[in-house]
Chains A and B, each alone.
Chain A
C-alpha cells in the first residue's frame, strides 16, 4: 500500500517513531542531562572561591650590623634580605623547582631536595630549577617586603 505524505494515515500505518519510544528516549535524555549537569556542578566543589592564606606583606627590621651582600633570613619567613650599595632587596627562598626552602651558602643558595643552585642575585646556577628565584618588589623605602608571585608561605 502506498501512502502519500499528505494523506491521512490509517491507524494501521506504523508511526515514524512510536510515541512510547519517543517518551522513553526523552526520559533517558533528560536523565543523562541531569546527571551530567549535577556532576559538572559537583566538580566545582573541590575548588574554593576564597582560600585562607597568611598575609604576604610583612615588616622586616634589618640588623644594623648586616654587612653588604650578606643574606639575612628573618625568623619564620621564607625570604632572604640583602643590603648593598643601591639599597635593600629581598629574594624568596622557595625553590622555583618544586618548592623546597633553599639555604644560603657561599655560592648563593642551594636547594636540599633536588640539587638546584642559585646565585646571590637569584639567577639559576645549576640543577633543575626552571627560573630565577623570585625577587621581592622594591624594598628601598621602609623595608617592606612584598612577594609578587605569592609563593611565600
Chain B
C-alpha cells in the first residue's frame, strides 16, 4: 500500500505510463548536453565515446593537422564491416559454390551488387587512407615519444589491413582469387629458394611448412578457401578491432595528437572566439576531465586553447564519415566490383595480375620470389616499425616535413626516389638481368642481386648520405621513407599499366596482341 493513499495497483499503472520517460532518462542520464559540463559527462559516461578525450586542442581540429585520414580509415572500415556482414548472408565458402554465390549476390540478391561494390570500394579507400595516414604521421613526426607505441600499433593496423584485402579478394574463387592464393602460398614457400641453394631443404623446410599451414593441404582447394574465409571474416577483423581500440585509446593517453612546441601561440587567435570556455560555473575540478598543468586544480577556468570534443570534434568526425560514405557509394554506383571467370587450375590468366596495391610487390616478385615476396617487404615492415626508436630527436615534431632537411630534403628525395626506381626498372627491362647474361649462374646470386635489391641498396645509400649530410637520423628517415613511397608508386604504375602477357613490358595494353 503506497503511503499517500494510492493503491499499489494505481501506482503500477502510473509507472507503466511513465515507462517511456523513465527509459529515456535512464539512457540519457545527464539530460541533453547543453553546457560544457554536461557535454563532458556525455563523453565519459558513454562506453563508445569515452575513447575520446573530453576536450580537444584547437591545433588538433585544424584540418591540415590530420586531414581526417585516420577517421577516414575508420569510416571505411565501418562501411566494409556493415556491408561485409550483409554479404555473409549469401556467401558460401566452398569451391564448388563460392563463385555461384557471388554471382547470386551480384545478379539476384536485391541490392546485392550495390553492397558488394560498396564493400569493394570501401576496402580500396581503406587501403589508400591507411597508407596516407601513415605518411601523415611520418611526415609530421607524430611517432615520437610518447607516441612510439602507438606508431607500433598503427604499423600492426597497416599489416592487418593489407591482410584483410588479400584474404578478401580470394573469396569469389574466380581466376584472380585462385591464382592469387596459388602465388601467395608459393611466396610463403619461397624460403625454399635459399634452403634449396644451400641444400638443407630436407632438414629445414620453412617455406614448405608455411605453405602447408596456409593451404591446409598440398594443393589449393577447399581447405585453403575455408582458411582464408576464416581469416577474412573472423581472425583479422577481430585483430583489427582490438588494435583500433588500443590505437584510439593511446591517442588520448598520450595527450592528444602531436603538436608543435609553439602550438598554443599558433592557435591563440582562434582560441579567443571560444572564451569564456565554461558556460556555467563549474562545481568541481576539471583535473580529470581535461589535461590541466600545475599542481592545483584549475577551478573555474578552462584549459587553455582547448574546446569541448562534443560537439567540435564529433562534428568533424561525422563530416569525414559522411564524406567517406559518399565517396564509397559514389564509386559503387559508377564501377562494379570485378568477377572474373571461374577458377581454372589448368590455365592462369595472361597476364595474371594482383589488385593494384600488390602490383608493386608483384613487380619485384618477378625478379625473385624470396627477396621480392619476403626479404624486401620484411625489411620495409621492420624498418617502418623501428622508426620511432631510431629517430629520437625533438626538432620538428608535429609540423609538416619537420626536422633537419625539411621540405627541401623531401623534395630531393622525391627526385631521387623516382629517378632511381625508373632507372633501375628501365635498365632491367631493356638489358635483362643476370640470368639472360649468364645462363649458368647459381640462383643465390639472382636472389640477392636483382633489380629489387639493387633499388633497395640505392635508397639505403642515399638515406645514409642524408644522415651524414644533416647529421640527423630524422633526415635519413625522411629520405628513406620518401624514396620507398616513390618506389612503391613507380613499381605499382609499371605493374598496372606497362606489364602485359608473360609479364613483358608494353607501352600500352593495346599492344598486347592476341594470345
Contacts and interface: CB of A to CB of B under 8 A. Distances in A.
Interface of A: 46-48, 51-54, 76-78, 97-101, 103, 110-115, 117, 123-128, 130-131, 150, 153
Interface string B333-353: 000000000000111111110
Interface of B: 179, 182-183, 185-187, 190, 192-193, 196-197, 209, 212-213, 216-220, 223, 345-352, 362, 365-369, 372-373, 432, 435-436, 439, 443, 446-447, 450, 501-504
Q: Which of A53, A124, A126, A128 has the most CB of B within 10 A?
A: A128
A153 B345 contact: yes
A10 B447 CA distance: 73
Given A47-B209, A128-B372, 15 more contacts: A51-B218, A52-B217, A53-B219, A98-B365, A100-B183, A113-B503, A114-B362, A115-B503, A117-B502, A124-B439, A125-B439, A128-B366, A130-B192, A130-B447, A131-B196
B502 A110 contact: yes
Nearest to A111: B502
Nearest to B217: A51
B218 A150 contact: yes
A112 B183 contact: no
B182 A98 contact: yes
21 contacts: A46-B213, A51-B212, A52-B217, A77-B346, A98-B187, A100-B352, A101-B345, A103-B347, A111-B503, A113-B366, A115-B502, A115-B504, A117-B502, A125-B435, A127-B366, A128-B369, A128-B446, A130-B192, A130-B369, A130-B446, A131-B196
Given A101-B348, A128-B369, A112 B501 contact: yes
B183 A99 contact: yes
B170 to A, nearest CB: 15
Nearest to A105: B502
B186 A127 contact: no
B186 A99 contact: yes
Q: Which 10 A-B pairs have the closest CB atoms?
A: A115-B503, A112-B350, A114-B366, A98-B186, A99-B186, A51-B217, A130-B443, A113-B352, A98-B183, A100-B348
Contacts of A53: 217-219
Contact of B435 (A78, A99, A124): A124
Contacts of B197: 130
Contacts of A113: 179, 183, 348, 351-352, 366, 503
B348 A112 contact: yes
B209 to A, nearest CB: 8
A22 B348 CA distance: 64
B216 A48 contact: yes
Contacts of A115: 366, 502-504
Nearest to B351: A112
A114 B218 contact: no
A79 to B, nearest CB: 11
Contacts of A126: 432, 435-436
A114 B365 contact: yes
Nearest to B193: A130
Contacts of B435: 124-127
Nearest to B362: A114
A127 B187 CA distance: 16
B349 A112 contact: yes
Nearest to B350: A112
A97 B216 contact: no
Contacts of B185: 99
B5 to A, nearest CB: 61
A7 B501 CA distance: 90
Contact of A114 (B192, B443, B503): B503
Nearest to A77: B346
Contacts of A112: 348-352, 501-503
A117 B443 CA distance: 15
A9 to B, nearest CB: 48
Nearest to B214: A46
